[in-house]
Structure 1
Amino acid sequence: MRYRSPDEDSARWDGFPFRQGDIIISTRSKSGTTWMQMICALLVFRSPELPAPLPELSPWLDWLIVPRDEVLARLEAQPHRRFIKTHTPLDGLPLDPRATYIVVARHPLDMAVSLFHQGDNLDRQRMAELLGKPDPSEPSEPPRSIHDSLVTWVDHDPAPADALDSLPGVMWHLTDAWHRRHEPGIVLVHYADLVNDLNGEMRRLAARLAIDVPEKQWPSLVEAASFTRMRARASQLAPDPAGILKDRNAFFRRGGSGAGRELLTDEELAHYEKRAAELAPSDLLAWLHR
């Protein structure tokens, strides 16, 4: 299936020259993409000191702002094990047996809150310039509060492929991955597990990726993947190779879980749970909402 948005196109994966050991990180926006890219970088290089900024080491192939040929040339030149970012669901990617696909899931309400804040941090004029489009018009209505935006997001009901960062789009992405979770080469990771047991999750991923890390190196790698240390290195780690973020430090805003539920009343939370139950299987939701 092909997924397109104003700044992404999954067709850029067509004909991608895979290598043995490639790692594909498939997430929804603001669901732990950069965190997982950093974890993979630390495991691949076995050092907190990276040889280049993270967006260069782990480019976003689907992103229209950087020419595809440029991204492919950069990946072709990499001598190390490659780890590539995408926001495309697995059914829009070529599933190659030489690659491992990591899907990170985050509670959708937390994702939506983080997405709200991310929107405020984007330089939309710069994005329009890079995409060769007219300057975005000024909003005709005053912005909604974060609470009202979250309530509206829960009820918004587009076709999933038309709005992958909507609730139907999130559930579409995760449901597809959930059904494939027992297939070789597919790894599901819960954002909350990274928050609660970063050391354990990094060791689990190393095992799934067949990466041997000397025991003495683990403390420094786990510490480098912590939210505090990543925020301190925002200039090197934030996904901003084209300068579209107003503030790279603001990209690493909170890094925890529970923000979405804190904003909703009990009645609104029950309504969200009813909507989610209409969009995803119960066993996935039990795992996702825990």
Structure 2
Amino acid sequence: MTERAIYLGPLTDSRRWDQVTLRPDDVIVVSPPKCGTTWMQTIIALLLAGDPDITPEFSVKMPWVDIRVRDMTEVAERLEAMTHRRSMKSHTPMDGLPLHDAVRYICVFRHPLDAHFSFRNYVRNLPVSWFDAWYPQEDTAGDTFRHFLAGGPDGDTCDAMPLAHILQHYEAARALSHQPGVSLFHYADMKRDLPGVFDRLCALLGISYPPPVMARLVEAAGFENMRRNADRFAPSGGKGFFKSDADFFRSGTNGTWQGQLTQEELAAYDAIMSDRLSPEDRRWLEYGSGSGEGGTEL
């Protein structure tokens, strides 16, 4: 078996997974930040429960294993004590996770520029200054986007979600996509066809419900419902983790980056993407399985 990569950031540590004993029916949502992680966790929580009125309590019931802010011994003991089918979250690329043939790894991606601008909004909604150096309040010099393009996939910069970290996630997942337990999903496809995403996940997880139940589950996972009930669906909702739980679900739209970057910034992004990915891989990472045009609008 190939040795696992180690990802260490100011907030995250992939070695924490060493304390988790995986079970054959575990479901792990793996994605870069702001690519639909919470949305996918919500869908999976709804499918595992079969109840549209659940309160997922992600931080407790579906924990983010990588993050250092929680004592890992407590997290591991809580996971071990669970008697139901478990689901967890990771922002570690697939080459840094323990691989188990029967575990389901649900890898979620989004157009990197949409993810970047979503992360900008995310850090402004935090009541702490963790990311101020990379995402300054006043950014007339364009430092934020330069950081996005220049940061590395590991180390001091990886938790600030640079482009290199997104690309490492995608390449690591793509390299394992031939394995039956590894499945790739795209935010744009979730927006286009949410019922289809539910159907695909049901097949992957071996879950089925009567059509009326499925319809209610799909409705519960809709963006507007999640925003209206942000205290239920935002990570650590109702606990003051965000300035506003509702603003965690700020827009849920694609293409928010358009008109926000200079020609030079777009050209620099375009050069990195074209150098790193094949046209087919780039098209999928940016647009999913839809008919979006390859490349950015220069």
User: What range is the shorter-chain TM-score in?
Assistant: 0.7 to 0.9
Match of 1:171 in 2: 167
What TM-score do the two structures reach when normalised by structure 1?
A: 0.88
2:139 matches 1:144: yes
The answer to whether the Cα contact below 8 Å between 2:57 and 2:236 also exists between their aligned partners in 1 is: no
What TM-score do the two structures reach when normalised by structure 2?
A: 0.86
What is the SS of the residue equivalent to 1:35?
helix
Match of 2:290 in 1: none
Match of 2:185 in 1: 189
2:249 matches 1:252: yes
Distance 1:73 1:243, change over 3 A: farther
The answer to whether the Cα contact below 8 Å between 2:19 and 2:73 also exists between their aligned partners in 1 is: no
Q: How does 1:13-92 map to 2 (within 5 A)?
A: 13-50=17-54, 53-92=57-96
Q: List structure 1 segments (4+ residues) > 6 angstroms apart after TM superposition.
A: 136-139
Letter of the 2:139 counterpart? R
Q: How does 1:214-229 map to 2 (within 5 A)?
A: 214-229=210-225
The answer to whether the Cα contact below 8 Å between 1:7 and 1:65 also exists between their aligned partners in 2 is: yes
What is the SS of the residue equivalent to 2:154?
helix
The answer to whether the Cα contact below 8 Å between 1:21 and 1:82 also exists between their aligned partners in 2 is: yes
Q: How does 1:203-218 map to 2 (within 5 A)?
A: 203-218=199-214
Could you tell me how far 1:243 is from its partner in structure 2?
3.8
Distance 1:218 1:24, change over 3 A: same
Corresponding residue to 2:153 among 129, 150, 160: 160
Could you tell me how far 1:157 is from its partner in structure 2?
2.0
Could you tell me how far 1:23 is from its partner in structure 2?
0.4
Identify the range of structure 1 (159-168 vs 101-110) with the bigger mean alpha-carbon deviation.
Answer: 159-168
Could you tell me how far 1:56 is from its partner in structure 2?
2.1
Distance 1:198 1:150, change over 3 A: farther
The answer to whether the Cα contact below 8 Å between 2:108 and 2:184 also exists between their aligned partners in 1 is: yes
Alpha-carbon separation, structure 1, partners of 2:17 and 2:126 = 25
Say how many residue pairs are matched. Answer: 278
Could you tell me how far 1:74 is from its partner in structure 2?
2.1
Distance 1:114 1:258, change over 3 A: same
Could you tell me how far 1:288 is from its partner in structure 2?
1.5
The answer to whether the Cα contact below 8 Å between 2:24 and 2:100 also exists between their aligned partners in 1 is: no
Distance 1:181 1:49, change over 3 A: same
Alpha-carbon separation, structure 1, partners of 2:122 and 2:190 = 21
Could you tell me how far 1:259 is from its partner in structure 2?
0.6
Alpha-carbon separation, structure 2, partners of 1:262 and 1:81 = 44
The answer to whether the Cα contact below 8 Å between 1:160 and 1:172 also exists between their aligned partners in 2 is: yes
The answer to whether the Cα contact below 8 Å between 2:45 and 2:56 also exists between their aligned partners in 1 is: no
What is the SS of the residue equivalent to 1:199?
helix
What is the SS of the residue equivalent to 1:103?
strand
The answer to whether the Cα contact below 8 Å between 1:58 and 1:83 also exists between their aligned partners in 2 is: yes
- Structure 1 vs Structure 2: percent identity of aligned residues? 37
The answer to whether the Cα contact below 8 Å between 2:58 and 2:236 also exists between their aligned partners in 1 is: no
What is the SS of the residue equivalent to 1:263?
coil
Alpha-carbon separation, structure 2, partners of 1:238 and 1:42 = 14
Distance 1:265 1:83, change over 3 A: same
Identify the range of structure 1 (269-278 vs 23-32) with the bigger mean alpha-carbon deviation.
Answer: 269-278
Q: Can you give the 5+ residue segments of structure 1 that lack an aligned partner in the other structure?
A: 128-135
The CA RMSD over aligned residues, in Å, is 2.4
Alpha-carbon separation, structure 2, partners of 1:108 and 1:179 = 19
Q: Can you give the 5+ residue segments of structure 2 that lack an aligned partner in the other structure?
A: 288-298
The answer to whether the Cα contact below 8 Å between 1:27 and 1:88 also exists between their aligned partners in 2 is: yes
What is the SS of the residue equivalent to 1:4?
coil
Alpha-carbon separation, structure 1, partners of 2:9 and 2:268 = 28
Distance 1:18 1:203, change over 3 A: same
The answer to whether the Cα contact below 8 Å between 1:112 and 1:150 also exists between their aligned partners in 2 is: no
Could you tell me how far 1:208 is from its partner in structure 2?
1.2
Corresponding residue to 1:279 among 276, 279, 295: 276
- CA deviation vs aligned residue, 1:189-223 (integer Å, no higher than 9, x gap): 00000011111111111111111222221110001
Alpha-carbon separation, structure 1, partners of 2:153 and 2:18 = 21
Alpha-carbon separation, structure 2, partners of 1:7 and 1:137 = 14
Letter of the 1:160 counterpart? P
